[in-house]
Amino acid sequence: MIYDSILDTIGNTPVVKLNHIAPKKQTVFVKVEAFNPMASVKDRLAVAIINAAEKSGDLKPGQTVIEATSGNTGIALAMVCAAKGHPFVATMVETFSVERRKIMKALGAKVILTPASERGSGMVRRAEELASKNGWFLSRQFENEANPRYHRNTTGPEILKDFADRDLNFFVSGWGTGGTMTGAGEIIKLARPETQIVVAEPENAALLSGKEWTPHKIQGWTPDFIPRVLKKEVADRFVPVSDDESIEVAQKLAKEEGIFTGISGGATLAACFKTAEVAPENSTFCVMLPDTGERYLSSPLFEQISEDSDEDWLSCV
């Protein structure tokens, strides 16, 4: 297929059945957002915000764009801005993976790191300060309605189309901005009210469940505030997951299904498995996998993976 721009390849990601690690007597499909051009669901958010801002006139030709990001949104915005001729600046907490910084810089972005002690709200404040000082366009992913609107127009309808001739009992998503769970969840519930929307969140920062925020390893999920675009009422249930089980499930998915996702993807699938334990038999699940595992090579997800030769292994064969 021939496209006029890399941006035209965003969306229409595949839904894949799990054949080896799904719970018995349950059917689990995963929507693999790594098939987007910059390998995450945030490509949708980025193109939505920039297109809407250009259309409204809030973003002028050649104007610099800035955003606070854990990485995937920044990478997506760096791609979109490169394709559209806007310089891009990211503010990012210093603890997020090095791969994300390098990818953004490779796409021409500038990356400003903020102290871990200031949490997610610190990087947001820094972006606001720089936008105000320099006259840059602040994309405001956590409150920009273009974010969930794009998921209403693309992600949700894609899922409904793919499941048009089969059951869809549960849709499972995590939340970072809340755009996916809100936008896609609303459309799925509108068309299929019987489908339950399951929202996964870190057990160490289960804000929607009424808990306090504490540090966790699920990068891209759950800043230390509830974003304005997130509609809690869309969810039917909230499922907390631990860092360890999120990492374990992501590793298992790669080794036994050949599907390479990050910690957040493992966390979402872990929430699906927990839900499957109490769901009726022969239920069908659609689980969002937000990104690729390549974003996490320096993270705890793959800290046990060696760069050395496996020569010693041959002696055991």
Domain CATH number, residue 67: 3.40.50.1100
Report if residue 317 sits inside a domain: no
Residue of 31, 40, 42, 70 marked active site? 42
pLDDT of 296? 86
Q: Please give the torsion angle defined by the CA atoms of residues 299, 303, 306 and 312, in that order, rounded to the nearest 10 degrees.
A: -160
pLDDT digits (tens, 9 = 90+) for 144-168: 999 999 999 999 999 999 999 999 9
Instruction: State which of 100, 115, 138 marks the end of a domain.
Output: 138
Confidence of residue 141 (pLDDT cuts 50, 70, 90): very high
pLDDT for 180 beyond 90: yes
Q: CB of 257 within 8 A of CB of 19?
A: yes
Instruction: State which of 138, 159, 194 marks the end of a domain.
Output: 138
Residues 113, 184 share a domain: no
- What is the mean pLDDT of the segment spanning 245-273? 97
Confidence of residue 98 (pLDDT cuts 50, 70, 90): confident
How far, in whole angstroms, is CA 257 from its chain's centroid? 20
Containing structural domain, residue 82: 42-138
Report if residue 261 sits inside a domain: yes
pLDDT for 169 beyond 90: yes
173 flagged as catalytic: no
42 flagged as catalytic: yes
Report if residue 192 sits inside a domain: yes
Residue of 139, 173, 246, 264 marked active site? 264
pLDDT of 219? 84
pLDDT for 70 beyond 90: no
pLDDT of 209? 94
- CA-CA distance, 256 to 248, in Å (whole number)? 12
- What is the mean pLDDT of the segment spanning 198-204? 96
